[in-house]
Structure formats: C-alpha cells, structure tokens
C-alpha cells in the first residue's frame, strides 16, 4: 500500500508499491542469482542500498507494462502486465524474506525505516506459491481490464445502443429524467457482475499473502501503514468521522428536501429518508456537485457555473478548428475538428492547473509530460479512463529527465477541471521527492498524496476563479458566500462518508466478517449507515455493486481519500497562514505566494522518509489529523443549513435496502 511508498499507478492491476495516488507500483526484477550476494554478504545498510538500486532499475519496465495495459486494453497487454507484476511481487517477497535476517542488526535509522516499509510496499500482498502468485496477478489484470472496458448495451437490432462509463455518467450529470438516470445507473452496475467470482478468489489469495507476511489479513496490513498501531489507526478514522458527521447530516437533510421538491416525495427518497442512489448526479454518490441546479441556495447569485464557461471554451475551440478546415468540410473533417477542439481544451485546462503550481514557484511540467500524457479518451481502443498520475522512472537516471504523466479522459466540465488539479498534485509530489531513495519516494502517508492537489482546489476561491476568467464578476454578499460554500460542500462534505465506507466494506471482506454470499447486502448496509443512500430497486446477491467502483477491481485502498478530505483543510489553513492571510478561512487563497509555495514544496520533498506526524508538524504545528479546519471552513454553511433544516426531521433509518436483506432495521441516528 502505499502509504509511503511507491506505488504505481493505478493502472493495472495492482501492483506493488503503491504509492501514490492512484497508482500502483511495480517492483523490480530479480537480479540473476549469482549477482545476489544475499544477507550474509551484506550489511543491513548495503542491503537497503541494493534494494533501492534494484527497485529503481526495474521500475521503468514495470510502469511501461502497466501504462500500456491501462491505455490499450487487450489480452496481450493484460498478459504482459500480469507477468511483470508476478516478477515484481516475487522479488518483493524475496526481499522481505531476506530483510528478516537483519532483525536486531546494527543499521542507520533510515535503513530500519526502509526495511519496515518493505512489507507495506504493495497493496496486493502475494502468496509465495508461484502458481498462486501467477493466478493473483492474472485476476488483478483481468478485473482492471473488465472495469476499463465495461460497456452497457440496451435495445435490439437497429435500436441497439452501447455506452461506456463516460456516457452513462453524462446522463447522471445532466439528465433530470428519473427513468433515464435509473437506467444509466443500473446499466453501469451490470458490468461488475462478472467480477464477483474473481473478487472472491482475489480476497483468498491476498489474504494468504498477508498472512505469510505476518498480518492477520489484508485489511490489517493496509491499516498498518500509518506509523501507528493498526488498531489505533482504525479508531482514528472513527474519531475523525464523528467530528464531521453532524455537518454531513445537515447537508443530507437539506438535499433530501430539495430532491423531494424536484422529484416528488415518493421518488425523491427511498425508505426511511435515504437518498436514491441514481439521483445524486454521480454514479457512486461521492460528489453531489452535479446537482447544482437543484441545490443552489440562491439562484444565480455569484454565478459559479464553471462547467458552462468550459463548455463555451470548447465551442470556441471547435469554431476555430472548423474554420481552419473551411466551409464545405467533409463529415470526416468535421469530426477531426471536434477531436482537435477536445484535445485543445483539455490541454488548456491542464495549463491552467499548472499555472497555479508555478505561481508557487514550483517548476513547469517537463516537456515529456505534454508529449506522453493521455488527455482525452482514444477512440480506437479501450482504456481505463479513471484518472491517474504516473511516475514512470523515479526521476530518471543516466541523464534522463523525470518521465511523469497523467492519464485521463478529460471533458470540459468542473469535475474534470478540479480532477486535473488533483492529478497534478500527485505529479508535483513525484517531482519534489525524486531525489529520495526509491523506498522513500511516496507520500508521508497515502492520505497526504491524495490531499496535495485538493489543497489547491480549496484555494480556488470565487475571486481566483474570476481572476482567471472562469466565472463572472463576484458579488460580495452573504448569499454569494453561502452559494460558494455549498458548491465546495457538495464536493468535499458529501464525500466524507463515502471515503470511509469503501474500506469498511473491504476490511470486513478481508477479515471474513463479510462473506461472499453477503457481499452486496453488506455494501448497501454500509452505504445506508454512513451515506444515508439506498438503491431505488432491490440489489440482491446476483449483483456485485462494489465492483462498479474503480478502486475495488483496481485494488486501491480508499481510506486515503477520507484522510485526504480532512488533511487538505489542515494544509490549506497552514498555507493561508504562511501567506499572511488573516481573514476567514474560506476566503483565503495562496495563489502566487512564494512563502506558501516554499512551505508546501519543503513538505513534498520529505516523501515518506520520516513518520507522517513529523511532516505534518512541520507544516501545521500539530502531529494530529483533525477535522477542526473542516468545521472552521464550513461554519457559515453549517449555521445556514441548521436554519434551513429547522423543524424538519433529519437523519435516516439505515434499515436494509429493499429486498437486500432480512435483518432487523437499525435505529435512526
Ligand atoms: O480516484 C481518485 C483520483 C485518482 S487518485 C481521480 N479519486 C477518488 C475517486 O475518484 O473515487 C479522487 C477523489 C476520490
Ligand atoms: Zn489521487
């Protein structure tokens, strides 16, 4: 996992070291037997140096295999990715075994930390048995491929229509037709059914790998990557959730009311006050920003419609591309003009994001970034569109420059625009810690890696957005403030329980308290408990709804995003202070501030070379993750929501989703 370490992109299946962001990472190839002196011949410090050198040497080939399998999905690329991972994981197991010989041996503090971190370098601990190892990497590559290539077809004959995730998401984003949204939501979830058997086996195999490494199960292993005992870490996540839960419940209450106004009381909620999964504007109900038309507190005050501006920019780019081709252009030429405009706007959006980072004195992205990044969805093959950031060569060696990239299918809308800032956060982290030894090339913990770009998104205040021409003149009023806060809350507050529930489910699956015959039931119980969300139609065990969320087939741990959504407010507050801002937290931006940039970069440079608590303390003065900054930021909105909700019955009955289970209902909370 990633915690600190190297992870590779997400890509493929899971590989090893994961680190960062969305990625998974590979490991190195075994050196020829003769070249491996083995522990007896090496001191601990020499052993760590060799592991670092071999990691770095093997890394480019592994990331290339993964990049190919994520940007060109077919049987061959999956085979190569699986085989590469197989070698990487076997090598990692060998190192972990060899490291045992150094228990109690003299070594530097850095080597001790590096050896401890070896065991946590992958989120996919592999069994030693070579057959099982091969089986595991094949399953992982297959599941990721199924997700990336997932297609829902409806209708027959000439009316047959096939859609992938992007088009189905468009329906949830833009349509307000209850039935069309339901079909899009259900349609996407059909793609996960065939993953169920693979996932059951996957869990058995990674659990065996975890046990061989000395962990109780894979969830316990994931929880042990936080420089504190695993049990304490789990309790920390409960503590953080209890801090922010009241804010979420107010937002939930307000939203339910608005949905009832938009769709009617019957259709606007499910059962005891739960929000219908297909009406939330997002396939997983993790970001409610697309419901702006329904949830905007004061219509048109301080217009924050970034999507509309981006769409306009696309139309302009299209106009230019069409003019270039002249009036009587062929159908083919008009189509090419569209592609050219899509790519141009995607690059403009990325340049805009880069500009925020360079305003903090961070470097420009290397030329190779622009040459090798996947900006938009290719038309001639399946790809994993889920956004990710890649470090292909750990900073390069032998005169090579860093090879960093992102992989997205960018569309001109607000969500993708902020996701670009998120991804560049990963990329700048890579660039900042590239001088560290490979084992320390990771986030302070994985939540840090996820929080960098989002911290910048928090600094995109209405004033900043106006200054870059993305929104029009901003009114200074209480109503404008509430609108701006709501816009941010729909992304950040709505996310919190989602960030928690995914791994609550996986922790249960890994420790056996959730068995395969209850996978879907447990999933919806957790969705109900934490998010207050439910499906509008029964979702029995013939479905495998967890598989419709990328990080489950992609095996990316998810608690990192929950942590990130708390940490980013702490980072933001500290950088605002560094920039000398004294006004209310929500009003601050540190765009263009050199001191904020210096502090930020200093933090990034540490990578995972020291416990995250030390890194956090340097930046914020505290060693604790804490929800206080979230509450401070949203204080005006929370007050406003309380007034709006006064007299309403808030909360929900987290009873089982319809037909999903026969258990007695849990109480209202
Ligand atoms: O997966 C991501 C990033 C890549 S690390 C696009 N995120 C989570 C998600 O989409 O589920 C960012 C926010 C949460
Ligand atoms: Zn990320």
pLDDT in tens, 521-551: 999 999 999 999 999 999 999 999 999 999 9
* Separation of alpha carbons 563 and 566, rounded Å: 5
Mean pLDDT is lowest, of 22-36, 46-60, 172-186, 313-327, for: 22-36
450 among known catalytic residues: yes
519 among known catalytic residues: no
| pLDDT reading at 662 higher than 90 | no
**pLDDT for res 19:** 34
| pLDDT reading at 664 higher than 60 | no
404-407/388-391 β-pairing: antiparallel
Give the model's confidence band at 655: pLDDT under 50 very low, under 70 low, under 90 confident, else very high: confident
Residue the block writes with tokens 């050196």: 31
| pLDDT reading at 604 higher than 80 | yes
**pLDDT for res 665:** 41
Catalytic-role residue among 13, 44, 387, 579: 387
CA of 185 to the centre of ligand 2 (A): 24
Mean predicted confidence (pLDDT) in 139-148: 97
- 180: tokens are 């069309």
**pLDDT for res 38:** 53
Mean predicted confidence (pLDDT) in 443-451: 98
Mean predicted confidence (pLDDT) in 241-261: 98
**pLDDT for res 630:** 98
The answer to pTM > 0.75 is yes
CA of 422 to the centre of ligand 2 (A): 6
3-state SS assignment for residue 432: helix
Q: Looking at ligand 1, which residue's alpha carbon is closest to its atom 7?
A: 561
Mean predicted confidence (pLDDT) in 206-235: 98
| pLDDT reading at 268 higher than 70 | yes
Mean predicted confidence (pLDDT) in 557-566: 98
pLDDT tens-digit map of 84-113? 999 999 999 999 999 999 999 999 999 999
435 among known catalytic residues: no
Looking at every residue in the chain, the average pLDDT score rounds to: 92
| pLDDT reading at 656 higher than 70 | no
Q: Rounded to 5 degrees, what angle do the CA atoms 568, 457, 491 make? A: 80
429 among known catalytic residues: no
Mean predicted confidence (pLDDT) in 459-479: 89
Residues in the chain: 669
Give the containing element (helix H, strand E) for 394.
none
CA of 171 to the centre of ligand 2 (A): 24
Q: Which ligand places an atom closest to the C-alpha of 496?
A: 1
| pLDDT reading at 273 higher than 50 | yes
**pLDDT for res 3:** 31
Residue the block writes with tokens 């416990």: 611
**pLDDT for res 398:** 78
| pLDDT reading at 118 higher than 70 | yes
- Measure the N-to-C terminal CA separation of the chain; round to a whole number of Å: 34
**pLDDT for res 40:** 63
3 among known catalytic residues: no
Pocket of ligand 1 (CB under 6 A): 21-22, 286, 387-388, 419, 422, 561
Q: Looking at ligand 1, which residue's alpha carbon is closest to its atom 6?
A: 387
Q: Looking at ligand 1, which residue's alpha carbon is closest to its atom 14?
A: 561
Give the model's confidence band at 155: pLDDT under 50 very low, under 70 low, under 90 confident, else very high: very high
**pLDDT for res 32:** 45
- Ligand 1, closest atom to CA 499? 14
Composition of the chain by helix, strand, coil, percent to 5: 60, 5, 35
Give the containing element (helix H, strand E) for 406.
strand 404-407
518 among known catalytic residues: no
| pLDDT reading at 4 higher than 50 | no
| pLDDT reading at 660 higher than 50 | no
CB atoms inside a 10 Å sphere around CB 58: 21
Q: Which ligand places an atom closest to the C-alpha of 424?
A: 2
User: What is the percent of the chain where pLDDT is above 70?
Assistant: 92
CA of 118 to the centre of ligand 1 (A): 25
User: What is the percent of the chain where pLDDT is above 90?
Assistant: 88
- Give every CB contact of residue 429 below 8 A, 6+ residues apart in sequence: 20, 443, 448, 449, 452, 604, 607
- Ligand 1, closest atom to CA 21? 5
**pLDDT for res 30:** 47
Mean predicted confidence (pLDDT) in 118-127: 97
Catalytic-role residue among 189, 426, 449, 606: 426
Mean pLDDT is lowest, of 3-17, 296-310, 347-361, 416-430, for: 3-17
252 among known catalytic residues: no
**pLDDT for res 37:** 47
- Ligand 1, closest atom to CA 550? 11
Packed helices 44-71 and 109-118: angle between N→C axes, nearest 10 degrees: 40
- Ligand 1, closest atom to CA 386? 6
369 among known catalytic residues: no
Alpha helices in 2-43 (DSSP H): none
* Separation of alpha carbons 315 and 323, rounded Å: 12
Give the model's confidence band at 80: pLDDT under 50 very low, under 70 low, under 90 confident, else very high: very high
**pLDDT for res 22:** 62
Which residue among 25, 289, 387 has the greatest number of ligand 1 atoms within 8 angstroms of its CB, and so is best to mutate? 387
């Amino acid at each position: 996992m990633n915690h600190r370490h190297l992870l590779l992109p997400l890509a493929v299946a899971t590989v090893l070291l994961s680190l960062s962001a969305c990625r998974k990472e590979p490991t190195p190839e075994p050196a020829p037997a003769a070249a491996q002196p083995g522990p007896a011949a090496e001191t601990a410090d020499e052993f760590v140096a060799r592991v670092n050198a071999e990691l770095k040497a093997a890394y480019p080939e592994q990331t290339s295999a993964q990049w190919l399998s994520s940007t060109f999905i077919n049987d061959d690329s999956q085979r190569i990715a699986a085989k590469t991972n197989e070698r990487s994981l076997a090598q990692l197991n060998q190192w972990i075994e060899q490291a045992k010989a150094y228990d109690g041996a003299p070594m530097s503090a850095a080597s001790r930390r590096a050896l401890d971190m070896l065991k946590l370098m992958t989120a996919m601990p592999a069994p030693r048995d070579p057959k099982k190892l091969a089986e595991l990497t094949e399953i992982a590559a297959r599941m990721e491929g199924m997700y990336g290539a997932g297609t829902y077809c409806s209708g027959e004959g000439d009316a047959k229509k096939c859609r992938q995730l992007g088009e189905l998401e468009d329906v949830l984003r833009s349509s307000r037709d209850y039935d069309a949204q339901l079909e899009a939501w259900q349609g996407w979830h059909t793609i996960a059914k065939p993953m169920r058997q693979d996932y059951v086996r996957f869990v058995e195999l990674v659990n065996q790998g975890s046990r061989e490494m000395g962990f109780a199960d894979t969830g316990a292993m994931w929880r042990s990557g936080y420089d504190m005992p695993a049990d304490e870490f789990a309790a920390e996540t409960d503590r953080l959730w209890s801090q922010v839960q009241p804010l979420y419940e107010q937002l939930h209450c307000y939203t339910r009311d608005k949905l009832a106004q938009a769709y009617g009381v019957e259709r606007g909620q499910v059962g005891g006050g739960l929000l219908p999964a297909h009406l939330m504007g997002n396939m997983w109900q993790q970001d409610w920003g697309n419901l702006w038309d329904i949830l905007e507190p004061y219509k048109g005050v301080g217009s924050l419609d970034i999507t509309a501006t981006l769409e306009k920019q696309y139309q302009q780019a299209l106009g230019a591309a069409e003019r270039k081709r002249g009036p009587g252009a062929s159908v083919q030429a008009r189509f090419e003009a569209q592609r050219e405009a899509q790519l141009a706007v995607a690059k403009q959006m990325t340049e805009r994001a880069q500009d925020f980072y360079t305003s903090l004195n961070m470097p420009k992205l290397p030329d190779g970034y622009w040459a090798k990044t996947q900006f938009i969805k290719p038309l001639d093959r399946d790809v994993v569109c889920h956004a990710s950031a890649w470090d292909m060569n750990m900073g390069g060696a032998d005169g090579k420059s860093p090879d960093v990239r992102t992989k997205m299918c960018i569309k001109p809308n607000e969500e993708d625009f902020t996701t670009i800032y998120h991804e560049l956060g990963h990329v700048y982290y890579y660039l900042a810690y590239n001088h560290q030894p490979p084992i320390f090339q990771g986030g302070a913990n994985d939540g840090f890696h996820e929080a960098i770009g989002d911290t910048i998104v928090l600094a995109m205040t209405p004033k900043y957005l106006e200054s870059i021409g993305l929104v029009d003149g901003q009114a200074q009023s209480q109503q404008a403030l509430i609108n701006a806060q709501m816009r941010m809350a729909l992304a950040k507050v709505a996310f919190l329980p989602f960030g928690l529930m995914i791994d609550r489910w996986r922790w249960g699956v890994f420790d056996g308290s959730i068995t395969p015959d209850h996978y879907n039931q447990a999933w919806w119980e957790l969705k109900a408990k934490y998010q207050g969300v439910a499906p509008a139609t029964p979702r029995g065990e013939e479905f495998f709804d967890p598989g419709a969320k990328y990080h489950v087939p992609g095996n990316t741990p998810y608690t990192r995003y929950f942590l990130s959504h708390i940490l980013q407010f702490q980072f933001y507050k500290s950088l605002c202070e560094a920039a000398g801002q004294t006004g209310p937290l929500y009003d601050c931006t540190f765009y263009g501030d050199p001191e904020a940039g210096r502090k930020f970069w200093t933090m990034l440079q540490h990578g995972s070379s020291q416990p995250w608590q030390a890194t956090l303390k340097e930046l914020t003065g505290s060693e604790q993750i804490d929800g206080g900054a979230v509450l401070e930021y949203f204080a005006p909105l929370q007050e406003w929501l309380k007034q709006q909700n006064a007299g309403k019955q808030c909360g929900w009955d987290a009873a089982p989703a319809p037909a999903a289970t026969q258990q007695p209902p849990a109480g209202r909370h």
